Amino acid sequence: MPGLIRNELMKIFKRPGSLIMIAILILLVTVAGTFIGIQASKGAVPDNSEWRHGLEMENNRLKRQLEDTKEFGNERDIYYIEQQIAINEYRLKHDISINKDYSMWDFVNGNLPFIDVAGMFTIIIAAGIVAGEFNWGTIKLLLIRPRSRSKILMAKYLSVLIFALVNLVVLLVFSTILGALLFGVPEEAPVHLLYYNGKVIEQSMPVYLLVSYLLYSIHMIMLATMSFMISAIFRSSSIAIGVSLFLMFTGVQITDLLAEKYDWAKYSLFANTNLIQYFEGYPMVEGMTLPFSVIMLLIYFGLFQFLAHYIFRKRDITA
Amino acid sequence: MPPASPLSWKAGRTFMFLYLLACVFWIYSGCSEGICSGCTECGESPMSIAVEIHNVTKRIKDKTIIDKISFEVYRGEVFGFLGPNGAGKTTTIRMMVGLMSITEGDIKICGKSIKHDFEEAVSRVGAIVENPEMYQFLSGYDNLLHFARMSPGVNKEKIAEAVELVGLTDRIKDRVKTYSLGMRQRLGLAQCLLHDPEVLILDEPTNGFDPAGIREIRDHIRMLAKKKNMAVIVSSHLLSEMEMMCDRFGIIQKGKLIDIQSVHDSATDSEKVYEFDIDSVEKASLILKTAFPHLEWKNAENGIFVRAAREDIPLLVKRFSGEDINIFGVKEVTKTLEERFLEATNGRGALKNARFDPQ
């Protein structure tokens, strides 16, 4: 198995395309850093000594708003207002100022959406990893070795995961280094305030960022798995890329629209890929819980893998 | 300060679960990886059966593509596989290496079924199926490394040996993209010799070679069959090539194996065709009609073709010269593989097409 994975990684990384993808990721982070760097140096945050007063005023306003909202009853809005009030109160109580300079931590946090770019690249790699062998005609030489088709397919999937991991690590590490160079590391790591089960919890920034990156990646991993399955079934990388990228950027919105009307929207893959919703916000469909989403994700994952393996193993190779 | 944040704890539990799942997968896949590399089951005697094809049928939907084919290939021989386009040559070869499933029947390689014991059976096979398509963006060496990692017990020395054998040492570090067709064929040959296979399956092995290259590859193939006692299965449309390379050949048409012949057993017919180069065809035909009514004959460009036994020849010569016919030459017309192939596939007689011209 290690030999098979080394083979797949060699085929991924010895193509210029894959290296360009990682270069683009680095370039995007650099461009983001440069822009923020220019803005941050010009419009430095003024030291607001009256921040306590400001938060008190905001809370009074929010409380009034909360009463109004409760009458018309949109639970999600109520939840968000309550969250804001709780966090503000926690700040006042524990004297955690909202005044802080833009630092490396904010930069790393701000680069979280770039995971979608990494996801896009992973989808492209996943789409090509099986279909490519058919296009190149190398599938014939690949499958006449003393290795079962399942093992070859599994090695290919694990290599896609490794490629995704490399992308994530590059994004995280490069963001951290560039952030530290451009914006500096504060002496005391700031805390992240999390509103969970009606309580506010202090969380260390590195842990929060690491968990955020991992949770955010689930979306891209599921779509890459889907792309991999389509690639193995249809032997066409363009179908796999097209469908997966389309769903990557529209799936959540479509599910969101469906969720307004139909309860079954919670069984959609895209209602469940965002696990951050259970920690930082309100679930897309009422009644969804973390275990429910994890089980749904495992079912989808199992289904994708089963279909890919089943069809790949039975296929007559005529390419 | 709360002791542990539920976010990291809950997430940690989720990831631990996924991690364990991955571990189970990994162990499962690792356990079944043990592959026997020795091949003691394959008899070492020179003429033992290497490939046994038994009543193989391939149906796709309701269409029968291969219909109950059976034959054996022995160690140390080169077996040619002939057939017109679309007859099922490639399908049969693909079934032999497990690229296509077998509807009925079985194929055994060194006694191991390709159907039920795929990894064991295929580890004894080296093959090029149609064109040797390699990874264009990798160097020749990386391509070989790639395939070497997929067979147990192939080390760097074996790769170097294979490269040396096919004469690619100078260009092996270049990308395959820059190779000529002949070089790709060589790389394809190197690729299937890496793991010292006992059965070699080559589809169109001389495609893309210049005449010197063709000769070289032919010598390689014959050498591998004789010295390493391999069974070699070759398919080609170049019949003259096949004639020089093969010991036996099977002819397949419309999914059926219609004939298996040995290249050197044309002597099975006691009567052969002789060409008489003479000046007076009319006289000769009259003599043949009256004096040799049992002989089959036909006019040729400069004389006459006669199907006759060896002992008839002196009688004919005496008779002709006695009748004042000038004889410039008498020669045996041997059936080429081409003629035998056409004879088998089309039922057209060799006599009618004694000088078959492919163009």
Q: Do A10 and B142 touch (CB under 8 A)?
A: yes
Between CA A28 and CA A37 the distance in angstroms is 14
Number of residues that this document lists for chain A: 319
Instruction: Looking at the complex, report in whole angstroms how far the Cα of residue B216 sits from the nearest Cα belonging to chain A.
Output: 23
Rounded to whole angstroms, what are the CA distances from B332 to B272, B273, B313, B342? 7, 6, 10, 20
> Which residues in chain A are closer than 8 Å to B15, comparing Cβ atoms?
214
Interface residue A95 vs chain B (CB under 8 A)? no
Between CA B216 and CA B210 the distance in angstroms is 10
Q: Do B132 and A6 touch (CB under 8 A)?
A: no
Q: Do A15 and B133 touch (CB under 8 A)?
A: no
Between CA B123 and CA B37 the distance in angstroms is 8
> Which residues in chain A are closer than 8 Å to B196, comparing Cβ atoms?
none
Q: Do A314 and B101 touch (CB under 8 A)?
A: yes
Between CA A11 and CA B137 the distance in angstroms is 8
A15, A144, A148: residue with CB nearest B137: A15
- β-pair type (A199-204, A191-196): antiparallel
Between CA A314 and CA A248 the distance in angstroms is 29
Between CA B173 and CA B280 the distance in angstroms is 67
Q: Do B14 and A145 touch (CB under 8 A)?
A: no
Q: How many other CB atoms are there within 10 angstroms of residue B262's CB atom? A: 12
A1, A15, A143: residue with CB nearest B33: A1
- What distance, in Å, lies between the first and last C-alpha atoms of chain B? 92
Between CA B149 and CA A9 the distance in angstroms is 13
The pLDDT, as a whole number, for residue B13 is 56
Query: Dihedrals φ, ψ of B229, to 5°?
Result: 55, 40
Q: Look at residue A49 and tell me whether its pLDDT is greater than 80.
A: no
- Vertex B257 angle, CA B254 and B259, to 5°: 120
The pLDDT, as a whole number, for residue B106 is 93
Q: Which of B102, B103, B119, B133 to mutate to test the interface with A (most CBs of A within 10 A)?
A: B133
Between CA B51 and CA B107 the distance in angstroms is 7
Between CA B126 and CA A25 the distance in angstroms is 42
> Which residues in chain A are closer than 8 Å to B175, comparing Cβ atoms?
none
B100, B146, B152: residue with CB nearest A316: B100
B5, B149, B151: residue with CB nearest A6: B149
Q: Do B122 and A146 touch (CB under 8 A)?
A: yes
Between CA A205 and CA A76 the distance in angstroms is 26
The pLDDT, as a whole number, for residue B332 is 80
- β-pair type (B303-309, B248-253): unpaired
Q: Do A136 and B136 touch (CB under 8 A)?
A: yes
Q: Which residues contact B210 (CB under 8 A, 6 or more apart)?
A: B182
Q: Do B7 and A201 touch (CB under 8 A)?
A: yes
**What is the SS3 assignment for B228-241?**
CCCEEEEECCCHHH
Interface residue A318 vs chain B (CB under 8 A)? yes
Domains observed in chain B: 49-262 (3.40.50.300), 266-346 (3.30.70.100)
Order of strands, sheet of B104-109, starting from the edge strand that comes earlier in the sequence: B63-74, B49-60, B104-109, B112-113
The two three-digit tokens of residue A8, written as one number: 């797949």
User: Helices A114-136 and A149-183: crossing angle, nearest 10°?
Assistant: 150
Q: Which of A107-111, A298-302, B224-228, B238-242 has the lowest mean pLDDT?
A: B238-242
Rounded to whole angstroms, what are the CA distances from B167 to A302, B181, B183, B214? 48, 14, 9, 14
DSSP calls for B150-169: TSTT--HHHHHHHHHHHT-T
Between CA B129 and CA B150 the distance in angstroms is 17
CB pairs under 8 A between A and B: 123
pLDDT in 10s for each residue of chain B, 359 residues? 444 444 444 555 555 555 555 544 554 444 443 334 344 444 445 568 899 999 999 998 889 999 999 999 999 999 998 888 788 888 999 999 999 999 999 999 999 999 999 999 999 999 988 888 899 999 999 999 999 999 988 999 999 999 998 888 999 999 999 998 888 888 998 999 999 999 999 887 777 777 888 888 888 888 888 888 999 999 877 777 788 888 898 888 888 888 888 876 554 556 778 888 888 888 888 888 888 888 888 887 778 888 888 888 888 888 888 888 888 888 887 766 677 777 776 654 333 333 333 33
Q: Which of B149, B175, B198 to mutate to test the interface with A (most CBs of A within 10 A)?
A: B149
Query: Dihedrals φ, ψ of B271, to 5°?
Result: -95, 135
A16, A137, A141: residue with CB nearest B191: A141
Q: Which residues contact A178 (CB under 8 A, 6 or more apart)?
A: A29, A30, A33, A107
The two three-digit tokens of residue A318, written as one number: 């005529």
Position of tokens 């504060």? A186
> Which residues in chain B are closer than 8 Å to A211, comparing Cβ atoms?
7-8, 11
The two three-digit tokens of residue B51, written as one number: 């490939």
Q: Look at residue A156 and tell me whether its pLDDT is greater than 50.
A: yes
For A208, nearest residue in chain B (alpha carbons)? B8
Share of chain A above pLDDT 90, in %: 50
Q: Which of B18, B20, B135 to mutate to test the interface with A (most CBs of A within 10 A)?
A: B135
Q: Look at residue A185 and tell me whether its pLDDT is greater than 50.
A: yes
Q: Which of A14, A145, A276, A310 to mutate to test the interface with B (most CBs of B within 10 A)?
A: A145
Between CA B74 and CA A279 the distance in angstroms is 69
Share of chain A above pLDDT 70, in %: 96
- Vertex B347 angle, CA B344 and B348, to 5°: 110
Task: Please classify residue B156 by burial: count the beta carbons closer than 10 Å to its beta carbon, then call 0-12 exposed, 13-18 middle and 19+ buried.
Answer: exposed
Interface residue A19 vs chain B (CB under 8 A)? no
- What distance, in Å, lies between the first and last C-alpha atoms of chain A? 25
Higher-scoring residue by pLDDT: A96, B186:
B186
Position of tokens 């946090």? A109
The count of C-alpha atoms lying within 13 angstroms of the C-alpha of B42, restricted to the half-sphere facing its C-beta, is 29
For B101, nearest residue in chain A (alpha carbons)? A316
ipTM of the complex model: 0.84
For A317, nearest residue in chain B (alpha carbons)? B99
Query: Dihedrals φ, ψ of A138, to 5°?
Result: -80, -10
Position of tokens 């919703």? A277
Between CA B104 and CA B330 the distance in angstroms is 52
- Judge whether B79 and B248 are in contact, CB under 8 Å: yes
Interface residue A221 vs chain B (CB under 8 A)? no
Interface residue A10 vs chain B (CB under 8 A)? yes
- Judge whether B198 and B44 are in contact, CB under 8 Å: no
Position of tokens 């000529």? B180
> Which residues in chain A are closer than 8 Å to B32, comparing Cβ atoms?
148
Q: Look at residue A312 and tell me whether its pLDDT is greater than 60.
A: yes
